[in-house]
Amino acid sequence: LALQGGFAPHLHALQELGHKTREVRTAAELAELDGLVLPGGESTTQLRLLGRHGLDAALDSFVRSGRPLLCTCAGLILAARQVLSPAQRSFGWLDVSVARNAWGRQVDSFIASDDGARQQLVFIRAPRIVEVGPQAEVLATYQGEPVLVRQGSRYGATFHPELTPDRSLHQAVFGGQGLSA
């Protein structure tokens, strides 16, 4: 979704895996996709732009169709069941509660490894997952806290995998080749 935020690095990551990519800004473009990334950025701005472009219903239909979805940072906030600190509207596609900017402000951004030392984590004004419901599965943690969850074909990350050379998360969500995302 290319309304606001860091969509370009995701396009690059998916292209490296051999996917045909496009910037999506309309319901018609959304309907043509096999998978979608909701990128980081500013979640309240993204919500306003979704409303302005009349994309709420089309986006909800797309996600509920079961096609692959990767939500990073602000994208995770949009997909969460509940948003705290401050509260805001979200779509409820992932059974998690998140606290906005809970890893700190922009100046508090940092890079670390997950608890299993399998992947590099880039945190930029990142949300924290404060509750994981029974429908979501925790795939990675940092200092014992969930940072990557999955619910069916929907993945939510508090961090920015697109800002590292590791393409394993994009690979897990979208596969190696063939999808248009």
Give the SS3 label for residue 45: helix
Q: Please tell me the distance from the alpha carbon of residue 93 to that of residue 80, in angstroms, as a whole number.
A: 6
Q: Of 120, 121, 125, which Cα lies nearest the Cα of 99?
A: 125
Catalytic-labelled residue, pool 10, 19, 162, 170: 162
Catalytic-labelled residue, pool 10, 19, 71, 160: 160
Q: Of 110, 132, 130, which Cα lies nearest the Cα of 121?
A: 110
Q: Please tell me the distance from the alpha carbon of residue 50 to that of residue 46, in angstroms, as a whole number.
A: 6
In the residue annotation, 162 being an active-site residue is answered as yes
Q: Please tell me the distance from the alpha carbon of residue 27 to that of residue 58, in angstroms, as a whole number.
A: 6
Alpha helices in the chain (DSSP H): 7-16, 27-31, 43-52, 56-64, 74-79, 168-174
Tokens 């069916």 -> residue: 152
In the residue annotation, 160 being an active-site residue is answered as yes
Catalytic-labelled residue, pool 19, 71, 73, 170: 73
Q: Which residues are known to be catalytic?
A: 73, 160, 162
